[in-house]
Amino acid sequence: MASAKKATAKKEKEPLALYDGSTLLMNQWQMILVALGCLGALLLSLLDINIVGAVVWKMSAELDPVHGIAMMPWLTTCYALADCIVVPLYGKIADVYGPKPVFSAALGIFVVGSALCGIATSLPELIVFRTIQGVGAGGLAALALVVIGTMFRNEEQSFENKAATQTAFGAVMFGVGLALGPTLGGVIADNLNWRWVFYINLPLALFALFTAVFLLKLPKRLTKRKVDYLGGTLLAGAAAALLLASEWGGTKYAWGSSQIVLMLAGGAVLLGLFVWRILTAADPLISLSILKHPVFRIMMPSSLIAGLGMAGSFFYVSGYLQVARGLTPTAAGMFTLCMAAGLLLSILVGPVLIRIVGKFKYMLTITGVIQAIILFLLSGLTADTPLYLVAVAMFTVGMAMGFSLGLGLQYTQNSVSVEDIGIATTSLRFNQQLGVSIGFAFFATIVTNILASHLTGAAGAANVNGNLDLAKLSGLSPAEHSAAIGAFITAVDTVFLLGAIITLIPAGLALLIKEDKHPKTPGPAAEKVAATA
């Protein structure tokens, strides 16, 4: 009795400490250091998605100046493939063996892959090492969020205060990674050797690995479960086929070509076999119980469709600013900072709005509608649109995305059982990333087709058989330049219009989520946790 009172008193003194019953696993400082390590892992996973794009031309020119351009797409494709296909398997293994060993292994693989990329002597070597790095990166963001979700999973804490702690981690790093990726890549490309793109990963990754190995302690699992490696292989094969089809369709091969048709058919067959495996395996990769969960069942398709809609808002705003308005990459990057600022502000505003709205699903619907409205307004961009309006639009989109992505993940984590938190987290990320990849291919095809139909002889030398030659824009006459830019803006506006329509779908799906009304007033324990955080 006395020991229980002492444990209770200690919990009150250290509200952020992690306990397994009455056993102290991690004190406040250990949790802070582990959280910083998780933040570092999140940052690395987000930086390495887009930082390489700034130096890819220098890599190709140094390692293989003759064949580099032809092989260059594989430097991003191999990383995206490896990252995406291993995510669900990481989540299941984490649910079976616990997040700590799996997170540590992912960090170790990422460190090895980054170091090897830095010493690569040929493009084939770099592609192989980049694939290894992608295998590790697949576990960084997802498992960092699993660790955070497990550490801060407090059943006594109200939802809005959980949002103030857990969601902050993901939203902060998403905003910082979004803002720093292109900027940091450009600085390295202009002032340092391209190999430093990979070397800068090592200190932060090693710190995260140290905290994971020596400081991270989580409650022990009470039940042993098996890993369905066959199911993971089937899902990985289906994802690889669909991603390659989306990457190559309309670019390397025509959408109706035998290669793309076979990849899509193969992906569909493997996906069907994966569904069969879920229905027949004793302990499948994604359990039937979690598939029946009302929140998870809605969030899975929502994350896929939201990722598809995101692909337009990120990439083509930058294209509009650089191509249509003539801004430098650095100047266009400042508008990305506006989006990042909106993401960061959503951390402060989100919990307050949840108290007002009362239900999480209404927040998802409202923010989805706001994002759709902004994309619809962007579909009216012209060559004379005031740039401050574009900055305001980017800020608002960032804020809406901070709510929908961060709160959606956090609510899903706290809705499923603790045994399924890993697969729930990684499944959402997998679907979102798959949606983004498909979205890029879809919108690229739309832009290509519109340019082919709208570019005429009036665009002068910039019209190369229906393709827009960006290098020729600066040498055009005013009339030719106006015709070329007009065709490009028409294509970009169409992307924003389609993105607005697509974004409304997950906003509507959110209304189907069945949830209880969350208390608007947190209890004393929750207030103490939130204040300390």
Instruction: Say whether both 107 and 150 belong to one domain.
Output: yes
Instruction: Say whether both 178 and 245 belong to one domain.
Output: no
Tell whether the model's pLDDT for residue 225 goes beyond 70: no
Cα–Cα distance, 290 to 416 (Å, whole number): 7
Which range among 154-163, 352-361, 414-423 shows the weakest confidence by mean pLDDT?
154-163
Choose the final residue of a domain: 244, 269, 284: 284
Instruction: Say whether both 187 and 267 belong to one domain.
Output: no
User: Regarding beta strands 463-464 and 18-20, do their DSSP bridges make them parallel or antiparallel, or are they unpaired?
Assistant: unpaired
Instruction: Say whether both 370 and 512 belong to one domain.
Output: yes
Tell whether the model's pLDDT for residue 12 goes beyond 80: no
4 lies in some domain: no
pTM attached to this predicted model: 0.69
Cα–Cα distance, 67 to 62 (Å, whole number): 11
Would you state the pLDDT for residue 111?
95
Tell whether the model's pLDDT for residue 127 goes beyond 80: yes
- 65 or 317: whose pLDDT is higher? 317
Segment 318-341 shows an average pLDDT of 76
Would you state the pLDDT for residue 190?
66
**What is the number of domains present in the chain?**
3
Task: Give the chain's mean pLDDT.
Answer: 76
Instruction: Say whether both 205 and 296 belong to one domain.
Output: no
Segment 198-217 shows an average pLDDT of 92
339 lies in some domain: yes
- pLDDT bin (cut points 50, 70, 90) of residue 115 is very high
Tell whether the model's pLDDT for residue 162 goes beyond 90: no
Residue with tokens 């006459």: 477
- 77 or 134: whose pLDDT is higher? 134
Tell whether the model's pLDDT for residue 332 goes beyond 80: no
Instruction: Say whether both 254 and 370 belong to one domain.
Output: no
126 lies in some domain: yes
Task: Please work out, in degrees rounded to the nearest 5, the angle formed at the alpha carbon of residue 511 by the alpha carbons of 505 and 514.
Answer: 135
Which range among 100-109, 389-398, 442-451 shows the weakest confidence by mean pLDDT?
442-451
User: Regarding beta strands 18-20 and 467-468, do their DSSP bridges make them parallel or antiparallel, or are they unpaired?
Assistant: unpaired
Instruction: Say whether both 115 and 185 belong to one domain.
Output: yes
Cα–Cα distance, 262 to 245 (Å, whole number): 9
- 523 or 177: whose pLDDT is higher? 177
Segment 137-151 shows an average pLDDT of 80
Segment 417-431 shows an average pLDDT of 71
Segment 191-203 shows an average pLDDT of 86
- 231 or 208: whose pLDDT is higher? 208
Query: Which residues on adjacent β-strands are paired with residue 18?
Result: 26
Instruction: Say whether both 300 and 439 belong to one domain.
Output: yes
Tell whether the model's pLDDT for residue 350 goes beyond 90: no
Would you state the pLDDT for residue 161?
44
Percent helix / strand / coil, the chain, rounded to 5:
80, 0, 20
Would you state the pLDDT for residue 177?
62
Instruction: Say whether both 307 and 264 belong to one domain.
Output: no
Tell whether the model's pLDDT for residue 226 goes beyond 70: yes
- 278 or 118: whose pLDDT is higher? 118
Instruction: Say whether both 165 and 306 belong to one domain.
Output: no
Tell whether the model's pLDDT for residue 112 goes beyond 90: yes
Tell whether the model's pLDDT for residue 397 goes beyond 70: yes
Cα–Cα distance, 375 to 314 (Å, whole number): 11
13 lies in some domain: no
Which range among 138-147, 250-259, 343-352 shows the weakest confidence by mean pLDDT?
343-352
490 lies in some domain: yes
Tell whether the model's pLDDT for residue 315 goes beyond 70: no
- 429 or 302: whose pLDDT is higher? 302
The pair of three-digit structure tokens given for residue 156, joined into one six-digit string: 């006594």
Choose the final residue of a domain: 268, 284, 300: 284
117 lies in some domain: yes
Tell whether the model's pLDDT for residue 71 goes beyond 60: yes
The pair of three-digit structure tokens given for residue 148, joined into one six-digit string: 């955070």
Let me know: does 308 contact 436? Beta carbons within 8 Å. Answer: yes
Cα–Cα distance, 495 to 489 (Å, whole number): 10
pLDDT digits (tens, 9 = 90+) for 444-484: 778 878 888 888 888 888 888 877 777 788 788 889 889 98
The 10 Å Cβ neighbour count of residue 198 is 24
Would you state the pLDDT for residue 389?
92
Would you state the pLDDT for residue 454?
86
Question: Containing domain of residue 246, as a range?
Answer: 229-284
Query: Which domain CATH number covers 373?
Result: 1.20.1250.20
Segment 368-376 shows an average pLDDT of 90
The pair of three-digit structure tokens given for residue 288, joined into one six-digit string: 């039937």
- 74 or 157: whose pLDDT is higher? 74
Let me know: does 147 contact 35? Beta carbons within 8 Å. Answer: no
Segment 65-79 shows an average pLDDT of 65
Which range among 104-108, 265-269, 508-512 shows the weakest confidence by mean pLDDT?
508-512
Would you state the pLDDT for residue 214?
93
Instruction: Say whether both 204 and 236 belong to one domain.
Output: no
Q: Which amino acid is at 83?
A: D
Closest CA to 365 of 497, 505, 518, 517: 505
Segment 106-122 shows an average pLDDT of 93
Segment 422-449 shows an average pLDDT of 75
Let me know: does 427 contact 300? Beta carbons within 8 Å. Answer: yes
Tell whether the model's pLDDT for residue 180 goes beyond 80: no
248 lies in some domain: yes
Would you state the pLDDT for residue 110?
95
224 lies in some domain: no
Instruction: Say whether both 87 and 208 belong to one domain.
Output: yes
